[in-house]
Structure 1
Amino acid sequence: MGRPSNTEERRQQIVAGLLRVMAERGYERASVTEIAKAAGLSPGLVHYHFKDKQEILLTLVEQLSALVRERVAARLARVKGDDARARVEAFLDAFLATGADADPAAVASWVTISAEAIQQPEVRTLYERAVRSDLEQLEELVGAVTGKRKARAVAAGLFAAIQGYFVLSASVPGLVPPGSAASTVKRMAAGLLDGAQPSEEA
């Protein structure tokens, strides 16, 4: 595969700059000047590659959701055989990544994006598409364990727990003990999956 174009490299730098600034200061205080500084570029180059700050944000939403999809796919590919429970756990691991996979800046930015989705219809459209797609995938994985009837409620509960951990870790750093989110959500998943077996379906 060829090397990315100079334009694409610059755009990536700018999007990464927004992620860094937004993780520290939020979207409102992420000025083009601050984004340019974090990207190591001039404000003029930011304006050359993006028409406004919102366009950078929309690109970031798409990139963050694509990165999560790639991480989920990679984790699922490592599951041996047809172990449905292990596939649910792989999905949860991908979202609540720890160690080398951890990305606190991305988590903080995603929380900010969720707040912007309430205020900006364009952001809401992309955010909702990403969240619905992720939840549908989790529902399908859960359904292989519980059966379809209970899958939506179990998947929604687990997904809400993940999002709640994101909000807590981003808004009150240090409140959630490191690594506890993944282990707690996995224990929740085990309990919910055990309590919703296919034999309970009509």
Structure 2
Amino acid sequence: MSPDMTTATARRTPADKHDERRRALADSALRTLGELGYARASLREIANNSEFSHGVVHYYFHDKLELIVYCVRQYKATCVHRYDGVVADATTADGLVAAFADKLVETIVEEAPMHRLWYDLRSQSMFEVSLREAVLQIDQTLEDMVWRVVSTYADLAGAAPAMTPHVAYGLLDGLFQQALLGYLCEREGVLDDLRAQVHDLMPVLLRPA
């Protein structure tokens, strides 16, 4: 073993190992949660569909609520950076819109269960008070992500946004949620519709020149 590896191993504290274990559990749990949703998934059900025992899951997470909030936070923390490349690589307003719309479609196709879990959790927060703070915080990170796209689009178009970040997020999130539902229902043409809707909506978000 090299000195560098020994030093790196020695620097890993019990807290680091605990956090790594929680992340591994969350990665495993997300698959089950995405399929079953909030109401149908229990800690035992999650454990039964993973490589971890019920006792191990319960040791690292006090209850289902704590596990689900942790899982969704972890997933969305990754999700919000998915559009960084779209913004960084954009050289024209039209190119940005096309890349953004394609990325929205891609994430629906590749990660529909995770998005379904997020909307499930957001709906449950209407009734579950203990979910609300986490949901609001996650929602804010998503709003910030959308606003980076919108403000960059405005700069490339030589215009200014015509509405607040909150309104822009609400409009785009509404389109995304409807497209997700249509995709889950196997509605024909729903993804092409989403692309067209994003192309139609983005200019509306800007003030007339």
Aligned with residue 160 of structure 2, among 136, 139, 147: 147
The residue type paired with residue 30 of structure 1 is A
The structural deviation recorded for 1:23 is: 2.1
| Cα distance in 1 for residues equivalent to 2:164 and 2:55 | 50
Distance 1:70 1:141, change over 3 A: closer
**Residues 50-91 of structure 1 deviation map (CA, whole Å, 9 limit, x = unaligned):** 1111111111121121111121123333x243x234334444
Aligned with residue 97 of structure 1, among 106, 109, 122: 106
Structure 2: runs of 5+ lacking an equivalent? none
1:107-126 alignment, distance < 5 Å: 107-126=115-134
| Cα distance in 2 for residues equivalent to 1:131 and 1:110 | 10
| Cα distance in 2 for residues equivalent to 1:44 and 1:154 | 44
8 A Cα contact 1:84 1:141, kept in partner: no
How many residues align? The count is: 192
1:161 aligns with 2:175: yes
1:84 aligns with 2:93: yes
Distance 1:193 1:34, change over 3 A: closer
8 A Cα contact 2:44 2:54, kept in partner: yes
8 A Cα contact 1:75 1:91, kept in partner: yes
The residue type paired with residue 177 of structure 2 is Q
Distance 1:9 1:194, change over 3 A: closer
TM-score (norm 1): 0.76
Aligned partner of residue 38 in structure 2, secondary structure: coil
Which range moves more in the overlay, 40-49 or 188-197? 188-197
Structure 1: runs of 5+ lacking an equivalent? none
1:191 aligns with 2:200: yes
| Cα distance in 2 for residues equivalent to 1:177 and 1:6 | 46
The residue type paired with residue 34 of structure 1 is E
Aligned with residue 69 of structure 1, among 73, 80, 94: 80
Q: Percent of counterpart pairs with the same letter?
A: 22
> Which residue in the other structure is 1:20 paired with?
31
The residue type paired with residue 19 of structure 1 is L
Aligned partner of residue 130 in structure 1, secondary structure: helix
8 A Cα contact 2:34 2:117, kept in partner: yes
Which range moves more in the overlay, 126-135 or 36-45? 126-135
Aligned partner of residue 25 in structure 2, secondary structure: helix
The structural deviation recorded for 1:127 is: 1.9
TM-score (norm 2): 0.74
Aligned with residue 55 of structure 2, among 35, 44, 62: 44
| Cα distance in 2 for residues equivalent to 1:96 and 1:122 | 32
**Residues 6-34 of structure 1 deviation map (CA, whole Å, 9 limit, x = unaligned):** 53443233223332222222222211111
Aligned partner of residue 162 in structure 2, secondary structure: helix
The list of structure 1 runs, each at least 4 consecutive aligned residues, that deviate by more than 6 angstroms after superposition, is 1-4
**Residues 83-121 of structure 1 deviation map (CA, whole Å, 9 limit, x = unaligned):** 23433444444343259x711321222222222222223
Which range moves more in the overlay, 144-153 or 18-27? 144-153
1:127 aligns with 2:135: yes
